[in-house]
Amino acid sequence: MSVAHNIIIEEIIHAETALENRLLSEPEFRQGLLWGKPRFGHPEGTIALHINEVLDNIDKLPIQEYERTTLRLVAIAHDTFKNKEDRTIPRNWNMHHSVIAKNFMKKYSNDPVLLQTIELHDEPFYCWLHMHRGETELAEQRLQKLLSQTINFNMLYLFFVCDTLTGDKVLAPLLWLEERLDLESYRGYFL
């Protein structure tokens, strides 16, 4: 890894806490931040650039300090291990980037809301994807499981908003979730 990459990460992601600084100094973490190239949903390319967009969105929310600190950590970790994800078919969901990220973060935090939000950050999208494919029963089962197991659904929802409103991601999953659960939309904060 070159010095230029080291400088770029700190210019893109401005750590605010000792834990954020520690994460950004981890070689395995840094490698994941540099992964990625422009693609649908992520025209920004690297994970670090995507995280920067999510962090900008978090700053727009009218939230308390605990929520902001937690959401920032979720943002910094959530996609960082996409470079290690197993995408073979059938999928090994234990090697999904969210599970890898949660397991990595266990070394730094035992906050169940933080860890679960990292692990489940893509679940609302997968629920919508089943619905979109016409798998209504499967979508409903997955959504009910998500709702019943989530410790702090509002935290997950806030993160889903901040993550979805980046790049050129399709808004349909967010709109579906808000309508399906009659959620107060936070999209107005991003206009």
Q: pLDDT by residue (tens digit) across 39-79?
A: 888 898 899 999 999 999 999 999 999 999 999 999 999 99
Helix residue spans in 16-152 (DSSP H): 18-25, 27-33, 47-59, 65-78, 97-105, 112-120, 123-132, 136-149
pLDDT greater than 70 at residue 2: no
Q: Please report the pLDDT score of residue 40 as a whole number.
A: 86
Q: What is the pLDDT of residues 142-167, one digit of tens each?
A: 999 999 999 999 999 999 999 999 99
Task: Determine what percent of the chain is predicted with pLDDT higher than 90.
Answer: 85
Within a 13 Å sphere around the CA of 28, how many CA atoms are in the beta-carbon half?
A: 7
- pLDDT of the residue at 64: 97
Query: 45 near 36, Cβ under 8 Å?
Result: yes
State how far the Cα of 20 lies from the Cα of 41, in Å rounded to an integer.
25
| Residue span of the structural domain in which 40 resides | 3-190
Number of domains in the chain: 1
- Asked whether the CA dihedral 112, 114, 118, 122 is positive or negative, the reply is positive
Cβ atoms 50, 165 nearer than 8 A: no
The pTM of the full predicted model, rounded to 2 decimals, is: 0.94
Mean pLDDT of the chain: 94
In the chain, count of helices (H) and strands (E)?
11, 0
